[in-house]
Structures are given as structure tokens and as C-alpha cells.
Structure 1
């Protein structure tokens, strides 16, 4: 029997269209391993909602591997050290993995490659960062020309099936117990209703793709209407790599009459990863240096406003509905994410990084690339961003995108209000005592935000 090889899983928890697994399985016995590494990412260690998802996704992955005659080995600690120990225990010198683009994973890959034969494969994205460049040979900074150029390389290659079987090593190394990792909350179990909305794992991801195929033709309009939640809800499955973006591209592209708008959302995911590849500190530093002078409110003054935003108690129904949906389900409708983010940044004048950190901890799909790029887009501080002076008006956005039923679902204090009053109860003198007044008026907030922006540019 040939020496075993290690298959290093991270955010690629699937067996189909898995180039690292395909190559490892062709070489001989495979030792699949997942390492719970909180040390390497440092402040970007996996958030609480993601850990709930990870627990169930790893359970599903192990079940799938066992059906192929294999199993998942679990280790905890720094990835490079855990892989070195596993190599010494098993004699495996080669490691196969899908390439990742978060700065901590790129550093970890370099460290692993110094001691072991690390073979990296594509598959996390439609196109590797840097493969689409401007005529001057530089990575694109603006999304629209990036998407136009990337579309010239589409569709992606046809996806490959999972191996029929996976050879096992002569002796399995020891594995830690998933239940001992404490990934699931218990006191209190704030994720009690997550399973009502989600089925983590490759099978759940494919089922979600199949369900969306019937809705894809309506996506261009429905994605903006939170009351019908017309988005694909595939983001956590893509984030954890339970399904490849190429698989999603082909299935949705073939099923829909015109899937262009949705497919460009997949390209936005590639674009966001290109930005963190070019600017690794995107999650903690303004991409536009001018925003370093922005006079954000000190949390000693604004702390209660930040807490009210997190709890969905701002007095703006569309914002509060989104924040409560986030806490209950680990997810928020995309249109409402923009409204809630804009409200924190521009109405409350709180640094975007506080909001990004909250999303990191509470979203099941908290991708470093998407989360960072999206928050900086709303703030105006990103490489490609909305103008800060374009201040989203939540009281206008709410009726425009027909959010009445969405608000009724997530803000039960307002369930009795009609479609006119529910978006702004104060304007109709209909606010019940159980619902808080506005933390700040829209006009007052707008003037304060624009004044702060002018000071930052002086």
C-alpha cells in the first residue's frame, strides 16, 4: 500500500466538485482532516453563528465520508502544527487542499508548505484572484469592469462528481470528538430556531439549489422584496463550501430563462475575494485613507445606540425587523442588510467596523471577503463604494420594497398596523407603547452625517 496523503478541509466541506479530494483519492489512502483553528485567524476566528453551522456541516461531511469507506479526523489547534503532528503520526508527507484567500489562510498555507508537500487546488471561487486583470496587468478594483471581464471566462468548467470510494489508511489516527468542541450554544440556546431555516451540509446545499431553480426567473425583482425573501439563501452553503460556485452556476444558469442578475452575484463573491487578496486588511482598515479622519461618535456616547441597533430597538421598523431576523435565524435579507448597515453608519454615525464585527459573530454566512467589502461599500470607504453622501432613507426604503409583512413577522409589536402606518408608526400617531421611539430623526441624522463627512475632508 502506498503512503497515505492528507486531505485538509477548511471552508470546502463537500465531496463533489472537490479537486483536492479527487487528486488525493487518485494517489492512494486518504486521511481527511478538519482542524478547529482559533489561533491562526486571531481576531477573525469563527463567529458564534458560524460555529453552530460548522457543527452540523462537519457531522454531515463525516456521514458522507463514511458512506465512501472513509471518515473525518478532527483536530484542534494551529493548523500548521496539527498537520505536522498528523504527518509524523501517519507517515503522510503530502497534503492536498483547496486554496483559500483570507490573509490568515494564505499565511498558514505558506507555513505548511515549508515542512510538507502542500498541493493547492482551485474550487473555492469561479476564478482564482488575479486571473482577471486590467489591460495594464493589475487586478480590477471596480466591480463592473471586473464582472464584464470575468464573464468572458464563463461558464466555468463542468463540475466533477464525488469519487465512488475513498481508500482508507492501514491504521486510522486518533480523532477528537465533535461534541467535545462545544460549537453549539446551550446556556442559553440562542440558536434554537436556526434549524427551522437551515439544513447544513452538502445534501442540504443541493436541496436548496434545487428549490431555488424554480424561483430563479423571478430573482431580479424578488431579491429586493424582504416579505417574500426572494433571494437564493445559498450564501452560507457557499461560504462553507458545501456546494461549489461552479455547481450553482451551471444548475441555476441552465434552469432559468435569464439568470444574469443572479450569476453576477456569484461574480460579486469572486470580486470580494479579489479585494481581500489585493488588500488583506480590508476587514479592519479603510480602503480609502481619507476615511481615517472620519469623526465617528465615541462609543462612550453612542454605546446605547449601538446596543439598540443590535437588539432591533431603534424605532425604525425595517431596521429592527432585520436585526431581529438576524438574531433569530443567523441571516438577514440582503436588501435589509444594506438598510441596517447604512442606518448604523450614517444615522447613528458609528464606525462601520463595529457593525461588521457584529455581523461576523451573528451571521451564519459571515465571509471575511463579502462582509468586509459590503460594509465598506455602504460606508463609502471601500475601493469600489457607494458615495457617503448618498444616505439611505429607511422610512422610504420600507414601503418602496413592500416590507409590511416582513415587519409584521419580526416586529410583533406592530402586527396590528396597516400597510401605511407600519413603516413609520410615529408619522401616523400609531406607535404602541411597547415599541421604542426613534433613536434619532432622519433629517437630524442626515445633517449630522454630512457635517461629519465634510469635516473629514477639510
Structure 2
């Protein structure tokens, strides 16, 4: 019988998966595969937290596919080598996948389409992981948008995102040999630092939909305001599920819209705009492939970084800066591989503007520690805080961690959860203004470091 090869990538789900649906509707035998490519130039290896997530997500996908009647074939190596090998082994006459948008990934996909075309093998890609293709929504000049609001407005005018596709009811096909998932050694062992991740997350498609349902049932009402309160369960926490494609943005969008009523209309609108920021970040990466390493604004190339010591960088990484909100955020990152977005902005601002450390240092650290480390959103967000990115935070916007914690965590519930030694502090938000026997003193002075940053930014603009 004819065989279609389905290549899973950042779409580890069976529902709303256009490539998988196309294979099922063909009537062919189906071979489903995932390729761990860490060798091709330009492919950024996953960080430690993302590897932990990938292991469990692949395990969950394999279980879902087995229920449909096929196995998940795992192979490790350069995709341009492995995919043709799998086609030869399976005798596939067609290969399908869902599109990716990084330059290295697009280059691989184009090369494979050419290779398969020369062999008379049909290779087809589908839109699955973005609601709007990066090249669809451009400014009047045909270039990428540089500001989020007109970009998102143009998206919504273009069309309503399509409805999600149903998962196939059954598949069939003999599997080629597969590598063992455990042999990839994606999980930490010495030491095993993933306890907090295991206690917090359920990777996989079922976990994604459960997370979405919980959010819509409990947190959607009041989202507009509560999303800025780190002590509350006020955000969806869907970011890692979206990053690995365990749920599609189409599914999230329509589930939220279907949940909307007069009391939640504004909350759902704001939540939808957060999906829009994800789309905007991917357009930025599509048109600026070096977003994680090169300033979006070339004027920042001459900025004076690296004024802080190694000890100060380590203190930031370990959550021992002496500023409760920064320390709570960084310790949350260590514990669960995720950080509340309001706190992400504050911790990034502190590194860049109070410590005067290059934003790329922070971007790399987050890439290793975040379970939702996304090639587009991570880089675009760090550049936004630095002021070097598109639609960036103005240079004079420096997040004051004391004011931020007083405003968004007034009773200190978030601070105390991750920095328990503050329980003995007389002044929770400014522990240096009283007795705080168990807590470290500040590593920099906020006022002095702010003035230093403003001076450097002003010199750049002069």
C-alpha cells in the first residue's frame, strides 16, 4: 500500500494538525516521525528545561498516535540526511509537514522539497502553528511591521482565524525501526533538577487542553487586570504548550472566543492580543533571522555593555540580588522553568539597565532555563526591554523592582513564596530599610544604576 510520511516538528499534537489530517485523508499507510536535529548549522540546540519538556511531549504524542494505530518513529541527526533515509525505508511516495519560520528551518525544508521533487516524491507543507503567515500581513511598503498595534489590527482585518481541524479517528501503517527516547538523554540526571517542573507541568496535548480549560473556567474573568499580579493564577500558562505545538493558536483563539460573554469580553480581547504578540514576534524573526544575536536597531551596536562583574551576573542568575521581586522571579525560573511575564520584564530590565549587561547574555540564560523558550518571543522580548528591538520599550523606561512589587504584589505573597527568608524582614519590599537577618543586601543602588543607564542611553542617541 502507498505510504505517506508525516514529519512532526513544533506541532506535537494530533488535533488541528493539517499535515496529519492530510495524511489520514489520503487513505495511505502513515509513518509518523520526529527528528532531533542538533547538527545542522543554524539550528539552535534546545536548552535544558526545553529538553525536559520535549522528552515528555514526545512520550505523550507517541501514546496518542498509538491509540490511533501507528507508532512514532524517532531518529536523531541532520534532517536533510534522516528524512530521505526514512523515505527509502518506508517506501513513502509523499511527505507532509507543518511549516516552520526560522531561516535555518526554512532552508532545510526548501532543500528537502527540492530533493524529494527530483525523486518524484511529493512534499507538501501546511500552515499550522501561526494564525497568520509572516509574509501575509505586511506594511504598505511590503516590509514587516515595526509596531505591534497596526500589525495586529491588520491581522484581524485580514480574516478571522480558521476553525481548528478535528483529529483523525484512526491511522494505519507499519513503523520503521525507531530509536529509544531514553537514549536521547533529554532528562536531567546528575543532578535531577526537574522536581519543580514535574510538580507544575503536564507536557503533552492533554495537558495543554486541561490548562486551557482551567484558564477559561477560572482565570479568564479578570484577566485584563489579574495577568499583572504574579501571586495570582491570572495567566493561561499555555506558553510551553504553544511553543511545542501541543495545542494550536487556532484552538486557543476559538476556545477563548467561544467562551466570551459580556462580562469577559474585554478580558478575552486582551488575551487575544497576547496571541497577537506571539504572531508579531514570529514575523520579526522571519524577516530578521538573527534576532537572538543582532540588534534589531543597528544604532545599538555601539552601546557600552559589560560594566558589571561576574559576581553580579551570578547573583542575578541565582536570585540573590537583594531586590525581592528580581530574586523571586529568578528563583521561580529555577524552580519551575517559567516566570510570570510582568516579572520577566522586571528581571530583564534589571540585568540590562541596572547591571548594564548585554541583553544577549540574558536571552541565552532564559533560553536554557525556560520550558517555553521560543526562538521568536524570547529574542524579541529581550530586545524590547533593551530598547534595541521593534516597538521597543523607550530607553528611559527602567522597571523599578520596588515599585513593581508594591504595585503588583502588595501583600508580598509572590515574594514570600520564592524568597522565604523574607519572612523575617521588617520591610518586605525594601528589606534593607530595616532588619532582614536572612536576606542579602542589594548588589547595586537603584538610583545610581538608573542614572548610569540613562546616561549611556542618552550618549547613544546623541
The TM tier, using the shorter chain, reads over 0.9
Shift of 1:456: 2.7
Q: Give CA-to-partner distance per residue, 1:124-143, whole Å, 9 cap, x none.
A: 01111111122333321210
Corresponding residue of 1:309:
316
CA distance in 2: counterparts of 1:206 and 1:41, whole angstroms: 34
CA distance in 2: counterparts of 1:94 and 1:303, whole angstroms: 53
CA distance in 1: counterparts of 2:461 and 2:259, whole angstroms: 49
Contact 1:283 1:372 in 2 (8 A): yes
RMSD: 1.3
Corresponding residue of 1:423:
429
TM-score normalised by the chain length of structure 2: 0.95
SS at match of 2:428: helix
Contact 1:229 1:333 in 2 (8 A): no
CA distance in 2: counterparts of 1:401 and 1:206, whole angstroms: 28
- Where in structure 1 are there 5+ consecutive unaligned residues? none
Alignment of 1:228-307 (within 5 A): 228-256=232-260, 257-258=264-265, 259-297=268-306, 302-307=309-314
Q: Give CA-to-partner distance per residue, 1:176-222, whole Å, 9 cap, x none.
A: 00011111001101112211110000000000110011221211011
SS at match of 1:35: strand
Corresponding residue of 2:6:
7
CA distance in 2: counterparts of 1:343 and 1:99, whole angstroms: 36
Q: 1:398 aligns with which of 398, 405, 408?
A: 405
- Where in structure 2 are there 5+ consecutive unaligned residues? 117-121
Q: Give CA-to-partner distance per residue, 1:268-322, whole Å, 9 cap, x none.
A: 1000000001111111100001111000025xx5211111100000000000000
CA distance in 2: counterparts of 1:154 and 1:104, whole angstroms: 29
Q: 1:209 aligns with which of 208, 212, 215?
A: 212
Shift of 1:330: 0.4
Q: Give CA-to-partner distance per residue, 1:129-183, whole Å, 9 cap, x none.
A: 11112233332121010011111245311111110111214xx211000011111
Is 1:343 equivalent to 2:350 in the alignment? yes
Contact 2:380 2:389 in 1 (8 A): yes
CA distance in 1: counterparts of 2:152 and 2:221, whole angstroms: 20
Alignment of 1:179-198 (within 5 A): 179-198=182-201
Alignment of 1:8-407 (within 5 A): 8-27=7-26, 28-40=28-40, 42=42, 44-116=44-116, 117-169=122-174, 172-214=175-217, 215-256=219-260, 257-258=264-265, 259-297=268-306, 302-402=309-409, 404-407=412-415
CA distance in 2: counterparts of 1:337 and 1:140, whole angstroms: 24
Contact 2:37 2:43 in 1 (8 A): no
Contact 2:359 2:382 in 1 (8 A): yes
CA distance in 1: counterparts of 2:335 and 2:240, whole angstroms: 15
CA distance in 1: counterparts of 2:456 and 2:139, whole angstroms: 35
CA distance in 2: counterparts of 1:139 and 1:456, whole angstroms: 25
TM-score normalised by the chain length of structure 1: 0.96
CA distance in 2: counterparts of 1:87 and 1:160, whole angstroms: 26
Alignment: residue pair count: 449
Contact 2:12 2:57 in 1 (8 A): yes
Shift of 1:42: 4.5
Q: Give CA-to-partner distance per residue, 1:315-343, whole Å, 9 cap, x none.
A: 00000000000001000001000000000
SS at match of 1:408: helix
Contact 2:102 2:289 in 1 (8 A): yes
